[in-house]
Amino acid sequence: MPPLKPPPERAVPSGRLSRLGQFGRLAGGVAGGMIAEGARRLAEGERPSVRGMLMTPGNFARLADRLSHLRGAAMKLGQMISMDAGDMLPRELSQLMAGLRERANHMPPQQLQKVLAREWGADWRRRFKRFEPTPMAAASIGQVHRAIALDGRDLAIKVQYPGVRDSIDADIDNVATLLRVSGLLPKELDIAPLLEEAKHQLAEEADYRREGEQMTHYGALLADEADYVVPRLDAEFSTGQVLAMDYLAGEPIESLVDAPKDERDRVMTALLSLVLRELFEFGVMQTDPNFANYRYQSDSGRLVLLDFGAARSVLSETSAAYRRLIEAALAGDRTEVRAAALAAGFVGEGAVARHGERIDAMIDVVLAKLNQPGPFDFGDRGFVELLREPGTAVASDSAAWHVPPAAILFVQRKISGTALLAARLRAEVDVRALVAAQLGEGIAA
C-alpha cells in the first residue's frame, strides 16, 4: 500500500465548478487505474472483475488524496466511514480512510489571508501580538491557529475553509455516487434519508456561531466538574466562519496508551460517564467521537473537550429506547434485547425473520461479555471475532439490509467511537456501576 505523505499546503477548491472538477479528476484517475489493473490481470491469465479492478491500493490512495484536498463534507464523510464502518471495508481502504482523520491539507498563507481579511478586515494583524501562520491542527471543515491578542489573551482560532458551507450538498451526493459505483454501497440500500440528515448536520457544523453557543452551553453544564474543562468562547474574534476560544494545553488522548492502568481506567470512566449523562441527563450530545476532539492535561488530570459543531439534541424517545435496551442487556434477557433492538430500529424485521438464530447468537455473545463479573475489559476484543461470522452472513443478505433511524445512528456513533477509544487505551471500566448511577433503580450494580 502506498505510504501516507505528510499533509502539504494546498488551496481549498472553493467554487462549485472547481470542486466538481476534483471529483472528475478522481473518477478519471480511478478509471485509468482500473484499465491498468485489468490489463495486468489479463496478462497474468486472470479474468478480471470490475470490483477487482476497482479495489486496488492505487485507487484507494487516489480516493484518500482527493478527499484530503477537497476537505469539507467530502472529507468528513470519509472520516465518518472510517470510524463507523471500518470493519466492513477492505483493510487497505479502511486504513486510508482512517488516515483522513489526521491528514487534512492546510490552506496556503495567501488563501488564509484572504479568508481572515474578509472576516476581520484588511488590517486584522494589528489586533494581535502574535498569530501563528502554520496551523496547529487541520481537519475537514477548518484549521486551527494559535494567537496572542493585544491584551495577552492566549487563543485558539478555528478558520473555516472557503466554500465548505456552500459545497456540502453536492459533496455528499458526489461521495455517495462514488460509493455506489464502487460497489461499497449496495444499490438496494435506501440511504436517502440518512444523506439528508448528514447534509443537515454538516450544515450545522459549518455554522461557527452555532458551535460557539454549543461550546458555551457545555461549559455551563460542566462548570462544576473536576474531570472536564471546556474552552471559553472569545466573542471579539468569532464570526460565522471563524471561531475563537481560550487556548487550552493538552496532550493527544491517544498518548494515554502508555499511562499507568489506573489512569487509563479513570479517564475512560469519566468519558463513558459523560456519554451516559449526555444521553440520559443533558438532552444534548456531542456526536463526533473523533479522538482529536479530546486532549488530556496530565498535570491536572482533566480532559479538554473540543469541537462542539456536531452537538445535537437527544430525543426523549431515543433516550427511552436506549434505557430499555440497556436494562434488558444488563438483566441478561435475550428476548427483550431483541425486541428492544427491533423497536428502536437497530435491526430490521427482515433481518430478524430471516436470520433470527444468528441474531440471537450475536446477542448471546454480547450478553456473556457484558455480564462477566468485574469491570468491563474493553481491551479484550475476542468477542468481536465471535460476532464476525454471523454478522457477515446477515450483512451479505440484501433482504436483511436496514438503515436505522438517523437519531439512533448519530447517538450510536458517539457510543461506538467512545468504546473504540476505550479499546485503544485497553481500559477496564465498571460499566454496570456507571449505568446504575445514571438510571437508578432497576439496575443492579
Task: Spot the catalytic one: 65, 265, 288, 307.
Answer: 288
Active site residue 288: yes
- Output the CA torsion 196→200→206→211 (10° steps): -150
Tell me the CA distances in angstroms from 345 to 8, 191, 370, one per residue in order: 43, 14, 21
Query: Cell 482560532 belongs to which residue?
Result: 157
Helix H or strand E segment including 148: strand 142-149
Residues in the chain: 445
* N-term to C-term CA, the chain: 47
Q: Which candidate, 340, 433, 419, places its Cα nearest to that of 380? A: 419
Neighbouring CB atoms inside 10 A of 150's CB total: 9
Per DSSP bridges, beta strands 242-246 and 294-297 are unpaired
- What is residue 360's predicted lDDT score, i.e. its pLDDT? 94
Q: Across the strands, what pairs with 428?
A: 377
CB of 131 within 8 A of CB of 140? no
pTM of the model: 0.79
Per-residue pLDDT of the chain (445 residues; tens, 9 = 90+): 333 344 455 554 444 444 444 444 444 444 444 334 333 333 444 443 434 434 455 555 555 555 544 444 444 554 444 444 444 444 444 455 554 444 556 788 899 999 999 999 999 999 999 999 999 987 778 899 999 999 999 999 999 988 888 877 877 777 677 666 655 556 666 677 777 877 888 889 889 999 999 999 999 999 999 999 999 999 999 999 999 999 999 999 999 999 999 999 999 999 999 999 999 999 999 998 888 899 999 999 999 999 999 999 999 999 999 999 999 999 999 999 999 999 999 888 999 999 999 999 999 999 999 888 899 999 998 888 888 888 888 877 878 877 788 888 889 889 988 998 999 999 999 999 999 999 885 555 5
Give the model's pLDDT for residue 390.
87
* Domain boundaries along the sequence of the chain: 16-106+164-203, 251-445
**Residue 64 pLDDT:** 54
Residue 313 DSSP code: E
Q: Which three cell numbers stand for residue 368?
A: 456473556
Based on the number of CB atoms within 10 Å of its own CB, is 299 exposed (0-12), middle (13-18) or buried (19 or more)? exposed
What letters, b where the CB count within 10 A reaches 16 and e where it falls short, cover 47-85? eeeeeebbbbebbbbbbbbbbbbbbbbbbbbbbbbbbee
